[in-house]
């Protein structure tokens, strides 16, 4: 790639789980850390989020287990209905690793454009405040989707 993704930009591994409460408890016991809050996004339209080019409308439970000293998070997702990259993954594969996230700074647009030129399309994208996240449909080629972000938070 003309605009490669830097390994140092690795910030997350996201896993789709069947039951977020059970999974969060098990992961946190494994790491010996407290269980963080579980964010519940009620089913409905998500402002600033698209799924396969259309307004996204779905439900989701999300838990971020931070490994601050290592600079990344383990993100747990439980799809709770509607059309989303998360529900699509469950329908196609069941539960497992959905994406790896990378912080790429101001190279975000160049990377997304180059991936699209190579046939790797945007699956889901979200824009909020002054940041964004973009899940690209790379699982057939790479075995996992990628989340391309200008900044980690």
At 43-100, the pLDDT tens digits run: 999 999 999 999 999 999 999 999 878 888 999 999 999 999 999 999 999 999 999 9
Residues present in the chain in total: 153
Whether residue 131 is predicted with pLDDT greater than 90 in this model: the reply is no
Whether residue 105 is predicted with pLDDT greater than 90 in this model: the reply is yes
Whether residue 130 is predicted with pLDDT greater than 80 in this model: the reply is no
Please tell me the distance from the alpha carbon of residue 153 to that of residue 71, in angstroms, as a whole number.
11
Q: Of 45, 76, 40, which Cα lies nearest the Cα of 60?
A: 40
pLDDT at position 153 is: 62
CA dihedral sign of residues 71, 69, 17, 7: positive
Residue 122: strand pairing partners: 136
What is the pTM (predicted TM-score) of this model? 0.92
| Domain 12-149 grouped into CATH 3.40.1180.10 | no
Calculate the average pLDDT of the chain: 94
pLDDT at position 144 is: 96
């Amino acid at each position: 790639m003309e605009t490669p993704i830097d390994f140092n930009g690795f910030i997350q591994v996201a896993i789709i789980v069947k039951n977020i409460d059970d999974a969060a408890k098990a992961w946190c016991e494994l790491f010996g850390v407290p269980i963080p809050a579980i964010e519940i996004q009620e089913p409905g339209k998500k402002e600033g989020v698209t799924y396969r080019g259309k307004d996204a409308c779905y439900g989701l439970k999300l838990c971020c287990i931070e490994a601050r000293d290592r600079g990344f998070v383990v993100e747990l997702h439980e799809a709770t209905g509607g059309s989303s990259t998360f529900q699509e993954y469950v329908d196609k594969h069941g539960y497992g690793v959905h994406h790896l996230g990378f912080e790429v700074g101001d190279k975000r647009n160049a990377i997304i454009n180059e991936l699209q030129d190579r046939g790797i399309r945007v699956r889901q994208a979200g824009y909020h405040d002054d940041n964004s996240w973009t899940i690209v449909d790379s699982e057939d080629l790479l075995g996992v989707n990628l989340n391309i972000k200008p900044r980690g938070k």
